[in-house]
C-alpha cells in the first residue's frame, strides 16, 4: 500500500472512530436524561437531532415573585406560570446549554397556606430548556391542566378530553417533585447538547 493510501486509510479510520465515539457519548447522556426523568417522564425517541420527551406531570399553574406589593408593605406580587407541556420534540443542537435553568416555582397550594410574616420557600423544582437564536423553536404537545385534573382516576382518556394541542415554543418547563431529579436532568441535557453540537 502506498504512503498516500495508508494516510487516507488512517484518516478514514480516525473519522469513523470519532463519529462512533461521539454517538456513544450522546447515547450515554440521553440514557442519563431518561433516568433523571423517571417517574416524571420518559425519552421516547433518542436521536441527537430528533429527541422526543414524554412528560407525566406535574402540570398546573405555579407562581414566581415579580416584585413588592406597594399597597401591602412586606408582601410580594406574583406572576402565574402555566405548566402544560406533555410532549417535546427537539433537536439538541438547537438548544442553548447556557440557558438551561434550574430553579424552583411556588405551587398555588403552598401560597394559599402560607402564613403571613414567615419567609416564602419555593416548593416545586423546575428545569427550563430554551432554543438558540431568534427563529429556532421546539414542537410541543400541551394539555389543559384543569381538564387533566378532572380526569384523575379515569382510564381510556382521549386526547380531546385532555385538551391536547400542538404548539411551537422557544422554551419549555419541566417540573419535578424532588431536587435530585431536576439536578440530574439539568446536567445530562447540558452535556448532551454540547456533544450533539460537536457532531
Q: Contact, 144 vs 59, CB < 8 A? A: no
Ranges 114-123, 129-138, 151-160: which has the least confidence: 151-160
pLDDT above 70: percentage of residues in the chain? 88
Distances in Å between the Cα of 139 and the Cα atoms of 51, 71, 123 are: 11, 41, 28
Using pLDDT thresholds of 50, 70 and 90, give the confidence band for residue 149. Answer: confident
CA end-to-end span of the chain: 31
Among residues 77, 183, 48, which one has the least CA distance to residue 125? 183
CA atoms within 13 A on the CB side of 176: 22
CB distance 41 to 55 below 8 Å: yes
Which residue do the cell numbers 426523568 mark? 37
63-89 pLDDT, tens digit per residue, is: 999 888 788 777 889 999 999 999 999
Decide if pLDDT at 21 tops 70. no
Cα–Cα distance measured from residue 48 to residue 170, given in angstroms and rounded to the nearest whole number:
18
Grid cell, residue 31, equals: 440514557
Q: How many domains does the chain have?
A: 1
Q: Are 126 and 176 in contact (CB under 8 A)?
A: yes
What pTM value is reported for the model?
0.81
Helix/strand/coil for 173: strand
**Mind spelling out the 3-state secondary structure of 118-129?**
CCCCCCEEEEEE
Distances (CA, A) of 97 to 11, 118, 140: 31, 36, 19
Q: Which domain holds residue 15?
A: 3-198
| Rounded Cα gap, residues 180 and 7, in angstroms | 49
Amino acid at each position: 500500500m502506498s504512503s498516500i493510501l495508508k494516510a487516507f486509510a488512517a484518516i478514514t479510520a480516525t473519522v469513523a472512530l470519532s463519529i462512533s465515539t461521539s454517538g456513544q457519548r450522546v447515547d450515554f447522556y440521553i440514557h442519563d436524561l431518561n433516568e433523571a426523568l423517571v417517574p416524571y417522564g420518559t425519552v421516547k425517541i433518542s436521536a441527537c437531532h430528533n429527541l422526543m420527551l414524554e412528560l407525566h406531570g406535574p402540570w398546573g399553574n405555579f407562581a414566581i415573585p415579580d416584585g413588592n406589593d406597594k399597597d401591602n408593605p412586606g408582601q410580594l406580587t406574583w406572576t402565574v406560570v402555566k405548566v402544560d407541556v406533555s410532549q417535546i420534540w427537539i433537536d439538541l443542537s438547537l438548544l442553548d446549554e447556557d440557558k438551561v435553568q434550574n430553579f424552583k416555582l411556588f405551587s398555588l397550594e403552598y401560597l394559599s397556606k402560607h402564613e403571613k410574616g414567615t419567609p416564602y420557600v419555593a416548593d416545586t423544582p423546575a428545569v427550563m430548556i430554551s432554543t438558540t437564536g431568534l427563529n429556532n423553536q421546539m414542537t410541543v404537545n400541551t394539555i389543559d391542566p384543569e381538564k387533566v385534573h378532572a380526569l384523575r382516576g379515569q382510564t381510556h382518556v382521549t386526547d380531546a378530553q385532555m385538551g391536547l394541542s400542538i404548539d411551537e415554543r422557544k422554551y419549555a418547563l419541566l417540573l419535578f417533585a424532588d431536587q435530585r431529579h431536576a439536578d440530574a436532568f439539568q446536567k445530562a441535557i447540558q452535556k448532551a447538547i454540547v456533544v450533539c453540537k460537536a457532531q
